[in-house]
Structure 1
Amino acid sequence: MTTVVMEQIGRLFINIQQIRQIPSLVEQSIPSLPCTVKDWEVPQIFREPYIHSGYRPVRQSWRYYFFTLFLRHNESVNVWSHLFAALIVLLKLQEFSQTMDFWSDRHTWPLLILLVSAINYLTCSSLAHLLQARSEFAHYSFFFVDYVGVAVYQYASALVHYYYSIEEEWYHIIKAFYLPMATLLAWLSCIGCCYAKSNAKVLHPWSRKLYQIVPAGLAYALDISPVVHRIYSCYSSSCTDSSIWYHECQIIFFLLSAYFFSCPHPEKWFAGKCDIFLQGHQIFHAFMVLCTFVQLEAVHLDYKQRQHFYQTWHRDSWPVLVCFVVIVSSSIVTMVYMRHLVKVKLGLKEK
């Protein structure tokens, strides 16, 4: 009996030893990665105001930048915040697909477009922050792709607000121009962001922000107008609409995200202390994720509770699809063109 017990203890000890070796085995399987560097060790285009360290060295292999997903640097939070959010929205898409017929029910298409657009913009943002540090050309290229994702998501947000959330009074006021104007403003937002990024070396920081914020602000003012009118109408009539709280939250979260996108706070107050955590752009990411989540909840509730409205008003689906194709194609063309201009400016040969 004693012998059997000792044999079991010996096997347990061996198993524990093997488990303890796992971290070292994983570490050995990952190639040796360069440490992060200071701001003065990377070109100006990669430096962020008041962020002094945590930068990844440029001109490393693509493999290195993919592996930095698991390292601590000043883009880690930006990468993981949107990567986790994209996975959650993907699970939401799978959850909704169990009760909604995305294939044959055309009234579900706007919600499907929003879900896919949200996954797309979150994924593009994660890739941009993960891979942009390889070279100056990669920096421009990946953020151009990011701006395409944002523009398409802007249109998708406008679409679901117009399709599911709008009140009849506001619908009859804006139905003649809303979708074409939302498409145009989303495209102008993409152009403004691409132009600001491609001319980052010559534009004053506040000028760059204006090129990014003004078109996006105009787009948001139009896109959110059905929701604002809906909230106003609800309070005027003392309604008990269950989705109103979510709509209010999405407006609050968006405005907070806009503030932290526009202003480098709190790193401006604590220069060099927010290099890894609590940067303004990281807080912007967090509020945008919250905005996306509550928007999905609000729109899903509207889809379930307001069928008698949208099934009557939106009998034709072709304007939705045409505008979606236009914003996707025009944004991609803009991205490709701006990428070509940057390549010429940097003196790179076509590959």
Structure 2
Amino acid sequence: MLSVKLPRLFSIEQMPQVFHEQGILFGYRHPQSSATACVLSLFQMTNETLNIWTHLLPFWFFAWRFVTVLYVTDIQNDSYSWPLLVYMGTSCVYPLASSCAHTFSSMSRNARHICYFLDYGAVNLFGLGSAIAYSAYTFPDALVHTTFHDYYVTLAVLNTIISTGLSCYSRFLEIQKPRLYKMLRVLAFAYPYLWDSVPIFYRLFLFPGESAQNEATLYHQKHTAITLLASFFYSAHLPERLAPGRFDYIGHSHQLFHVCVILATHVQMEAILLDKTLRQEWLLVNSRPLSFPQIAGAILLCLVFSLGNIIYFSAALYRIPEPELHKKET
């Protein structure tokens, strides 16, 4: 009979410090796992298993939605739908990158860092996709045709580049300066989100305009609330910080963070689809649509500079001696 031996699991005391997770005491994989062992761990209950599946399954759902929209869209002639396709494409990239990062992060110390560098780049690419969709469909009436609108996507590209670099750099401070590391990591993701959400906040709390007063508003409210909840779980490390060892496999903050992020993306997608449909007539008359060179240029710049950041910081891992990288500040 064919049998598969699942990889052995370890406690936090048996793991190098770079693999430690606050409040998680058991269920760690070998710090030098093979690629095969990493894949097998998808079918074994470890402290990473649900981190993987809470993004791997939604990836297939978002991919199905993307293909469905792609199938009914005349890509060559329907320029109004281009921003939506970019957004839906990037919404597939980040959950896949995240699930891969969590799957293969136990192969080595450097592999762990590089996996998450790529994860950060994918998250920021999704942020840019969101900004492109917001620029095309969700801007409140009063901000359309303003200088802010004209430079909104350009600055969103700059934000993704800075955010990827800052989040990658923060990993070098994870053990030496944990408070600074956490502050930089949260800042790296918070400020691009805040910039992207300015038109949403203006619409929700100030003056939406006649064309923006529609059913999408409720979804934008839900998206904002769920995103704030996700941010809380990411930064607070609750509930495992209050009861170390009790939530190692199910219910720790990163799993809850993943679930909230996926729900937020789903609600955001519904809001964008509603705005695209309900505001189409008004937007085609009153707004300047993003051209193909603008959209392609924004995505290309994001990819080139973010990959440049990832390559630079990945190379730095091999230039810095391991004791110096992981020596804890006293």
Give the TM-score normalised by structure 1.
0.86
Instruction: Give the one of 313, 317, 320 matched to 1:338.
Output: 313
Q: Per-residue CA shift, 1:18-42, capped at 9, x if unaligned? A: xxxxxxx5xx343x22321101111
Shift of 1:311: 2.6
The one-letter amino acid of 1:113's match is V
Counterpart of 1:137? 110
* Structure 2 Cα separation of the partners of residues 239 and 161 of structure 1: 12
Shift of 1:281: 1.0
How many residues were matched structurally? 319
Shift of 1:100: 2.2
Shift of 1:207: 1.0
Shift of 1:232: 3.1
Gaps of 5+ in 1: 1-24
| Closer/same/farther in 2, CA of residues 336 and 85 from structure 1, 3 Å limit | same
SS at match of 2:248: coil
Shift of 1:120: 0.7
Identity value in percent? 25
Counterpart of 1:179? 153
1:65 equivalent in alignment to 2:20: no
The one-letter amino acid of 2:250's match is F
* Structure 2 Cα separation of the partners of residues 102 and 290 of structure 1: 28
C-alpha contact 1:186 1:216 (8 A) present in aligned 2: no
C-alpha contact 2:83 2:132 (8 A) present in aligned 1: yes
C-alpha contact 1:193 1:212 (8 A) present in aligned 2: yes
Counterpart of 1:265? 238
Instruction: Give the one of 120, 132, 137 matched to 1:164.
Output: 137
Counterpart of 2:271? 298
1:280 equivalent in alignment to 2:253: yes
1:328 equivalent in alignment to 2:303: yes
| 1:140-289 → structure 2 map (5 Å cutoff) | 140-173=113-146, 174-204=148-178, 206-232=179-205, 241-289=214-262
Gaps of 5+ in 2: 323-330
Q: Quick check: which has more Rg, 1 or 2?
A: 1
Shift of 1:321: 2.0
SS at match of 2:295: helix
* Structure 1 Cα separation of the partners of residues 90 and 206 of structure 2: 29
Counterpart of 2:99? 126
C-alpha contact 1:110 1:163 (8 A) present in aligned 2: yes
Give the TM-score normalised by structure 2.
0.91
* Structure 2 Cα separation of the partners of residues 240 and 314 of structure 1: 20
* Structure 2 Cα separation of the partners of residues 316 and 117 of structure 1: 17
The one-letter amino acid of 2:165's match is I
SS at match of 2:105: helix
C-alpha contact 1:261 1:280 (8 A) present in aligned 2: yes
Counterpart of 2:15? 42
